[in-house]
């Protein structure tokens, strides 16, 4: 495992304005993630873990502190730089899959490859990953024709098609039954162990968190 | 890939897509039909004027080349006087009585007119014999469902249709000059005189000479007169055309704006997904504008087809009134106007989509 942290978070805060009230979602978060780690951040609803996911993925800007992803500080990033971060460095897996409903499963993967500037073809090694994900026979179907587990496996394929340094997963099993949940979590573990994929998973489920190599707990916007 | 996404988005919401295409098509049809009717009607008038075989048109003072003839202020001695002018072979006068909207009834000396123009080509019947006999051209007969022997009441007089002739000559409705003068209370009066020359190439020279001799009279070569029968020569018609084009563009803009605004709202989450996976604002705007461009192109194609439908309807249901022609030169102009209106309509919702925070868009239900 590489000693240089791929994620380094120092005194991270995030404050939202909701009406006239300031909501302090993150209150000075510190942690590091080494390259190749599989970390679970566990917390109850409202603990700030999804906000942390959004900040780490460049989906929203931090309020203060520093977040270094591969030595680049997100605090001072422009919108364009955050777009490039999402395009090249981070892959996302969402609770609600977030596949484009108008495209087939395969085109959902191809468009991300296209956006990443890697053409649209799926090469041999990636076809192997698709076999590992067990979705090769569902690639021509639209998301509405897929089960939740199948959609989440397509979402995983989409998240790693451009070889991101970090895979961020926000409650990836939140909408799945126990059988599909276990399958998806085994896949994430496989990706980490076989491909050395760095994974940071947000979950409220201790059972899901048990698949990770390291667990951190979050409460009231802080790691405890 | 973006094209594939564009097609997929349009196919995913067929009702919205079809409505947007139809709205743009209506905008295109409105413009092309208006331009087609303006040009067609004026060109039909020019064709009928040329069909007289005359080289010069002679009108009384106080009129203009393009004014309607609502009175008969000239003496019917003029044809006889003008026929003695140098190079004039013959002159024949007509009286034009306006009817409702665009129609007129023309009184003429059929013998003189036949010598000047070669006469009417009758499809049915023959020239008027009685004072209450009337001839009409085929489009007018078709529109009014007239046949030989049919009767028609115009200017408080009951007329009998005695002949139906091929269109394209002088007027749509013609009667004996003396009869029209009598029925309208204008004995021995004319509206205008058509003059035929021994050498048509001398028309300008003869017009100049006549203008000196008859100051104040409106005298034109037929070539000049017919050239004036164009939309660009008629300020009022030109302005009207531009106003309708403007309205059509505004309607198209609003429709596309609403369609794209709804599309952006509907697809907030999808746009958020594209942003989350690294889609740039340019890519998202590009996708929305491609959708709009495709809608506009399909709308333009449908609009052009609908223009042929309006043309067919006009020629079948109102052949004696307005004439619509296909003005090909306006296809690219109308197409560009529709595309610009559509793109303008898509830009504001597009910018809204581009500015939206990815995390907010992803939270949208």
Q: Which residues of A touch B (CB under 8 A)?
A: 54, 57, 59-60, 79-80, 83-84, 86-88, 92, 94, 98-103, 107, 110-112, 114-116, 120, 158
Q: What is the pLDDT at residue B234?
A: 62
pLDDT band at B69 (very low <50, low <70, confident <90, very high): low
pLDDT digits (tens, 9 = 90+) for A124-172: 777 888 888 888 888 999 999 998 888 988 998 899 888 888 999 998 8
H/E stretch holding A108: helix A105-115
Is pLDDT above 60 for B70? no
pLDDT band at B320 (very low <50, low <70, confident <90, very high): low
Q: What is the pLDDT at residue A194?
A: 86
A-chain residue closest to B278, CA distance: A87
Q: Provide mean pLDDT across the span B247-254.
A: 77
Is pLDDT above 70 for B71? no
Q: Which residue has the higher pLDDT, A176 or B54?
A: B54
Is pLDDT above 60 for B68? no
Give A114's contacts in chain B (Cβ within 8 Å).
1-2
User: Å from A206 to nearest chain B CA?
Assistant: 25
Name the E strands within A56-182. Answer: 64-69, 72-73, 90-93, 166-170
Give B283's contacts in chain A (Cβ within 8 Å).
115
Give A88's contacts in chain B (Cβ within 8 Å).
278
Q: What is the pLDDT at residue A11?
A: 93
Please name the member of B1, B269, B278 whose beta carbon is closest to the beta carbon of A83. Answer: B278
Give A83's contacts in chain B (Cβ within 8 Å).
275, 278-281
For residue B132, with 0-12 CB atoms within 10 Å meaning exposed, 13-18 middle and 19 or more buried, which class applies? middle
Residue A94 Ramachandran class (φ > 0 left, ψ -120 to 50 alpha, else beta): beta
User: Å from B275 to nearest chain A CA?
Assistant: 7
pLDDT digits (tens, 9 = 90+) for B100-116: 766 789 999 999 888 88
Domains of chain A in start order, with CATH, are 35-60+87-223 (3.40.50.300)
Strand B88-98 with B104-108, pairing: antiparallel
Is pLDDT above 80 for A93? yes
Q: What is the pLDDT at residue B232?
A: 64
Residues in chain A, how many?
224
Q: Do A86 and B362 touch (CB under 8 A)?
A: no
**Residue A216 CA: distances (Å) to CA of A30, A38, A48, A92, A203:** 11, 11, 13, 19, 10
pLDDT digits (tens, 9 = 90+) for B153-166: 988 889 999 999 98
pLDDT band at B118 (very low <50, low <70, confident <90, very high): confident
B-chain residue closest to A89, CA distance: B278
pLDDT digits (tens, 9 = 90+) for B220-231: 898 888 877 766
ipTM of the complex: 0.87
Q: Which residue has the higher pLDDT, A40 or B342?
A: A40
Q: Do B359 and A59 touch (CB under 8 A)?
A: yes
SS3 B136: strand
Give B277's contacts in chain A (Cβ within 8 Å).
86-87, 92, 111-112, 115, 158
Q: Do B11 and A102 touch (CB under 8 A)?
A: yes
Confirm if B48 and B42 have CB atoms less than 8 A apart: no
User: Å from A216 to nearest chain B CA?
Assistant: 24
Is pLDDT above 70 for A36? yes
The pLDDT > 70 percentage for chain A reads: 99
pLDDT band at B318 (very low <50, low <70, confident <90, very high): confident
Q: What is the pLDDT at residue B46?
A: 79
Q: Provide mean pLDDT across the span B73-83.
A: 88
User: Å from B28 to nearest chain A CA?
Assistant: 30
pLDDT band at B128 (very low <50, low <70, confident <90, very high): very high
Of A26-30, A216-220, B242-246, minimum mean pLDDT range: B242-246
Please name the member of A79, A114, A158 whose beta carbon is closest to the beta carbon of B1. Answer: A114
- What is the pLDDT of chain B when averaged over all its residues? 85
Give A141's contacts in chain B (Cβ within 8 Å).
none
pLDDT band at B43 (very low <50, low <70, confident <90, very high): confident
Phi, psi dihedral angles at B327 (to 5 degrees)? -105, 90
Q: What is the pLDDT at residue B305?
A: 95
Give B279's contacts in chain A (Cβ within 8 Å).
83, 87, 115
Of A26-35, A47-56, B38-47, B179-188, minimum mean pLDDT range: B38-47
């Amino acid at each position: 495992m590489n000693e240089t942290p791929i994620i380094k978070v120092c005194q991270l805060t995030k404050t939202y304005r909701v009406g006239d009230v300031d909501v302090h979602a993150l209150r000075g978060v510190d942690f590091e993630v080494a390259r190749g780690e599989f970390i679970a951040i566990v917390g109850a609803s409202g603990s700030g873990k999804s906000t942390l996911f959004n900040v780490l993925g460049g989906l929203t800007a931090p309020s203060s502190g520093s977040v270094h992803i591969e030595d680049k500080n997100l605090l001072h990033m422009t919108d364009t730089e955050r777009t490039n971060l999402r395009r090249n460095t981070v892959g996302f897996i969402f609770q609600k899959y977030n596949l484009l409903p108008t495209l087939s499963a395969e085109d959902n993967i191809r468009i991300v490859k296209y956006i990443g500037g890697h053409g649209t073809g799926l090469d041999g090694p990636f076809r192997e990953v698709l076999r590992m994900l067990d979705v090769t026979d569902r690639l021509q179907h639209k998301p509405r024709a897929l089960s939740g587990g199948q959609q989440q496996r397509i979402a995983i394929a989409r998240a790693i098609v451009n070889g991101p340094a970090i895979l961020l997963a926000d409650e990836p099993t939140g909408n799945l039954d126990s059988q599909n949940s276990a399958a998806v979590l085994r896949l994430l573990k496989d990706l980490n162990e076989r491909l050395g994929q760095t994974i940071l998973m947000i979950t409220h489920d201790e059972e899901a968190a048990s698949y990770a190599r390291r667990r951190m707990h979050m409460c009231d916007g802080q790691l405890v | 890939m973006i094209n594939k996404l564009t097609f997929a988005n349009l196919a995913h919401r067929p009702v919205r897509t079809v409505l947007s295409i139809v709205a743009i098509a209506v905008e295109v049809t409105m413009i092309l039909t208006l331009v087609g009717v303006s040009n067609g009607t004026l060109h039909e008038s020019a064709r009928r004027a040329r069909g007289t075989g005359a080289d010069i048109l002679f009108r009384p003072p106080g009129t203009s080349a393009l004014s309607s003839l609502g009175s008969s202020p000239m003496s019917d001695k003029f044809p006889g006087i003008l026929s003695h002018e140098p190079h004039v072979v013959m002159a024949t006068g007509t009286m034009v009585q306006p009817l409702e909207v665009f129609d007129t009834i023309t009184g003429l000396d059929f013998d003189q007119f036949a010598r000047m123009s070669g006469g009417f080509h009758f499809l049915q019947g023959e020239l008027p014999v009685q004072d209450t006999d009337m001839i009409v051209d085929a489009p007018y007969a078709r529109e009014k469902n007239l046949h030989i022997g049919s009767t028609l009441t115009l200017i408080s007089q009951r007329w009998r249709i005695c002949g139906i002739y091929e269109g394209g000559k002088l007027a749509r409705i013609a009667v004996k000059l003396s009869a029209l003068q009598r029925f309208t209370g204008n004995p021995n009066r004319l509206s205008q005189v058509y003059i035929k020359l021994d050498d048509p190439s001398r028309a300008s020279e003869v017009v100049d000479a006549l203008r000196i001799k008859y100051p104040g009279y409106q005298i034109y070569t037929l070539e000049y007169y017919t050239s004036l029968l164009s939309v660009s020569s008629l300020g009022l018609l030109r302005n009207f055309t531009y106003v309708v084009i403007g309205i059509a563009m505004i309607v198209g803009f609003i429709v596309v704006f609403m369609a794209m605004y709804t599309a952006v709202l509907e697809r907030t989450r999808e746009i958020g997904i594209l942003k989350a996976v690294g889609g740039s604002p340019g890519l998202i705007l590009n996708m929305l504008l491609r959708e709009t461009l495709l809608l506009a192109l399909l709308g333009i194609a449908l609009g052009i087809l609908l223009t042929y439908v309006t043309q067919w309807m006009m020629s079948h249901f109102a052949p004696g009134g307005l004439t619509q022609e296909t003005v090909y030169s306006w296809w690219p102009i109308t197409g560009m106007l529709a595309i610009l209106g559509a793109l303008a309509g898509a830009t504001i919702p597009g910018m809204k989509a581009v500015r939206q925070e990815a995390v907010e868009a992803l939270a949208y239900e």
